[in-house]
């Protein structure tokens, strides 16, 4: 091949390299700006490189290029699946009724939880769910107070406190009824403090049909019961 053909081939390679480098800058304007170059779309980027390449010596058909630092942004690594945070399986219930429906009640209750559910069942099974929750929380608040026994059963069976308790025991429960299912669910919700009581902090309550004249701080009324602390 003659020297003229070698030179023509070399120039063709140079032209190809110029268009390749220019295209790379056109695809990533941020990359050019971060490395001290002008943003994509500015003709001086490709022209400057072309002039620099064109100004190199062509010796025996070889091209000598001036090396240029190229910085590639590293891909963002994501955490492996086994270290990813666990996603909640479902959204929190938006209503107390939905929470009661979702609450599992299968299996045998502990003695204390049975006493709590029994108090809810006998004292408030005819009340709305919020009223049942308020009654359940009274038992729990009492068990947490040094003024009363420290267990749910101790609170429920304390003499002269709950009218449904007769001679140290509670009546039979219709365990197949929806009311008992709700009482168990409300007992678990109250025990785990999953829903705030509308009579928060109450230690006493009575039916609206009676007026005991207690000198206590009234917390509020929920359906057919008035609550105090």
Report how far residue 228's alpha carbon sits from residue 210's, in angstroms, rounded to the nearest whole number: 14
pLDDT value at residue 180: 98
Counting residues of the chain whose pLDDT is more than 90, the rounded percentage is 58
In a domain, 84, yes or no: no
In a domain, 58, yes or no: yes
For 119, phi then psi, to 5°, come to -65, -40
146 and 59 belong to one structural domain: no
Mean local confidence (pLDDT), 159-178 = 95
110 and 32 belong to one structural domain: no
| Residue that is last in its domain, among 14, 44, 63 | 63
In a domain, 75, yes or no: no
pLDDT value at residue 107: 86
56 and 165 belong to one structural domain: no
In a domain, 123, yes or no: yes
CATH classification at residue 223: 1.10.10.2520
Q: What is the pLDDT of residues 54-91, one digit of tens each?
A: 444 444 445 444 445 544 444 444 333 332 333 334 44
Report how far residue 183's alpha carbon sits from residue 31's, in angstroms, rounded to the nearest whole number: 65
Read off the pTM.
0.60
110 and 212 belong to one structural domain: yes
31 and 144 belong to one structural domain: no
Domain that holds residue 29: 3-63
| Residue that is last in its domain, among 63, 86, 111 | 63
In a domain, 70, yes or no: no
Q: What is the pLDDT of residues 83-137, one digit of tens each?
A: 233 333 444 679 999 999 999 998 899 999 999 999 999 999 999 999 999 999 9
212 and 115 belong to one structural domain: yes
199 and 101 belong to one structural domain: yes
Into how many domains does the chain fold? 2
In a domain, 87, yes or no: no
The DSSP code for 107 is S
117 and 9 belong to one structural domain: no
Q: What is the pLDDT of residues 32-41, one digit of tens each?
A: 334 433 333 3
Q: Which of 175, 113, 164, 163 is nearest to 139 (CA)?
A: 113
Q: What is the pLDDT of residues 197-223, one digit of tens each?
A: 999 999 999 999 999 999 999 999 999
pLDDT value at residue 7: 54
């Amino acid at each position: 091949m003659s020297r003229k053909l070698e030179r023509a081939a070399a120039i063709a390679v140079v032209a190809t390299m110029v268009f390749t480098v220019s295209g790379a800058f056109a695809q990533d304007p941020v990359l050019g700006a971060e490395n001290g170059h002008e943003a994509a779309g500015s003709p001086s980027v490709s022209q400057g490189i072309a002039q620099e390449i064109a100004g190199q010596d062509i010796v025996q058909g070889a091209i000598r290029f001036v090396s240029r630092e190229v910085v590639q942004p590293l891909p963002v690594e994501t955490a492996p699946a086994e270290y990813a945070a666990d996603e909640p399986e479902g959204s929190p219930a938006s209503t107390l009724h939905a929470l009661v429906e979702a609450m599992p009640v299968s299996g045998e209750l502990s003695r204390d939880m049975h006493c709590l559910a029994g108090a809810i069942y006998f004292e408030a099974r005819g009340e709305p769910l919020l009223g049942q929750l308020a009654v359940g929380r009274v038992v729990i608040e009492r068990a947490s107070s040094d003024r009363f026994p420290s267990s749910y059963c101790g609170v429920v069976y304390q003499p002269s406190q709950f009218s449904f308790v007769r001679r140290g025991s509670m009546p039979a429960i219709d365990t197949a009824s929806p009311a008992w299912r709700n009482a168990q669910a409300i007992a678990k919700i109250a025990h785990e403090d999953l829903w705030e009581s509308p009579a928060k902090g109450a230690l006493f309550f009575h039916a609206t049909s009676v007026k005991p004249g207690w000198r206590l701080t009234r917390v509020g009324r929920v359906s057919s019961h008035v609550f105090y602390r």
